[in-house]
Chains A and B, each alone.
Chain A
Amino acid sequence: MSPLLSWALAFALGCLALAMMLALARMIIGPRAEDRVLAFDCLYQNTMLVILALGLIYRSSSYFEAALLIALFGFVGSTAMSKFLLRGEIIE
């Protein structure tokens, strides 16, 4: 891996860490429940991007599967939480 790519990946990891902290701050101060669900949505997507960047750094395809699982379960989780906010229960 050339130094250019390793510096770019380090920069990307720094940006993503900062983005996760911003989303976490909104999750903590969020005035209502829907703000917190939105912040959770943003947080799991940033986590998925971090894992994709780690997969580029360590050259392993297991990271791809972990990222796919995070995308899948994050979608299920935030959909279930939105449904709960809308109806008061998830499975009727």
Chain B
Amino acid sequence: MNTWAPLWVDALTALLVVVGALAALIGSFGVLRLKSFFQRVHAPTLGTTLGTWGFTLATAVQVSFERGQLYLHALLIAVFIALTVPVTTLFLMRAAVFRGRIRGEEIPVPGADESGG
């Protein structure tokens, strides 16, 4: 540890890391705790977006101040996750609706009651 960063940078990094880890913990807790699949699928988005942004911002801040130059490629992970997680969630929800209807469960179509059927 030859590198050095001022104390407020360490404090900011610690805050971002703790917030990110708590968000990931709450998201995983929601995955275990919530009752039906369609409630459960919302929970990891919290942990994913807030957790990943917290950790990558912490890495960017800490390494930038230690090396004395701007170091942003940790944010590449956050941008990539923000682009890909909605795609995965959408595919998964479509698969769940399809399999639920095959199984004969009642899954209402959103907005069907407004248009009269």
Interface residues of A (CB under 8 A from B): 1-2, 4-5, 7-9, 11-13, 15-16, 18-20, 22-23, 25-26, 32-35, 37-39, 41-42, 45-46, 48-49, 52-53, 55-56, 59, 64, 67-68, 71-72, 75, 78-79, 82-83, 85-86
Q: How many residues of B contact A (CB 8 A)?
A: 52
Is B70's beta carbon under 8 Å from chain A?
no
In the complex the two chains form, is A38's CB within 8 Å of B41's CB?
yes
In the complex the two chains form, is A86's CB within 8 Å of B59's CB?
no
In the complex the two chains form, is A48's CB within 8 Å of B77's CB?
yes
A-B contact number at CB 8 A: 161
In the complex the two chains form, is B94's CB within 8 Å of A45's CB?
no
Q: Contacts A45-B47, A45-B51 known; A56 to B88 CB distance under 8 Å?
A: no
In the complex the two chains form, is A34's CB within 8 Å of B95's CB?
yes
In the complex the two chains form, is B24's CB within 8 Å of A82's CB?
no
- Complex contacts, A83 vs chain B, CB 8 Å: 91, 95
- Complex contacts, A55 vs chain B, CB 8 Å: 59
- Complex contacts, A85 vs chain B, CB 8 Å: 92, 95-96, 98-99
Shortest Cβ distance from A46 into B: residue:
B24
Q: Contacts A8-B18, A38-B92, A78-B92 known; A20 to B28 CB distance under 8 Å?
A: yes
Bound-state Cα–Cα, A85 to B95, Å? 6
Bound-state Cα–Cα, A75 to B77, Å? 12
In the complex the two chains form, is B18's CB within 8 Å of A19's CB?
no
In the complex the two chains form, is B77's CB within 8 Å of A52's CB?
yes
Least CB distance, B90 to chain A, in whole angstroms = 9
Bound-state Cα–Cα, A15 to B25, Å? 6
In the complex the two chains form, is A41's CB within 8 Å of B25's CB?
no
